[in-house]
Amino acid sequence: MGARDDALSHLSKAREFLDAAALELERELFTAAASSAVLAGINAKDAICLRLTGRTGKSDDHRAAVPELAAAGPAGKTLESTFRRLLGLKTTAQYQAAPISRSDATKAVDWATRMVDTARDVAGT
């Protein structure tokens, strides 16, 4: 598989996680919604980077992905702060005992939607 095919695969995963986040938000599963939104954003970042640069980094520290996205070109630079905010919810949503609020879950889904929409535009689908 080449970079374009990998980008489309990541875009498909991003859409799936975003759909899950929307359903979880609707069912008032706020922590799950935020977690799915984060995963949608990460996959959208991978799709954008693969499509624009032909590569994407894989690291356990997702904060390293923010400068990678910003360096991918104008589309990535535009999403830099959105992605940073989204990743800021990752630890709380996925590892800490404290729940995510409705407000934070809603923001996470909105941020992930921006990222997935941009990934779709960049991928040309």
- Residue 58 neighbours by CB under 8 Å, 6+ apart: none
Question: Which residues make Cβ contacts (< 8 Å) with residue 52, sequence separation at least 6?
Answer: 72, 73, 75, 76, 122
What Rg do the C-alpha atoms of the chain give, in angstroms? 13
Residue 69 has pLDDT above 90, yes or no: yes
Please state the rounded mean pLDDT for residues 30-59: 93
Model's pTM, two decimal places?
0.94
CATH 1.20.120.330 for domain 3-123, yes or no, is yes
Domain chopping of the chain, boundaries = 3-123
Average pLDDT over residues 61-81: 90
The pLDDT assigned to 74 comes to 94
pLDDT average, residue stretch 75-81 = 95
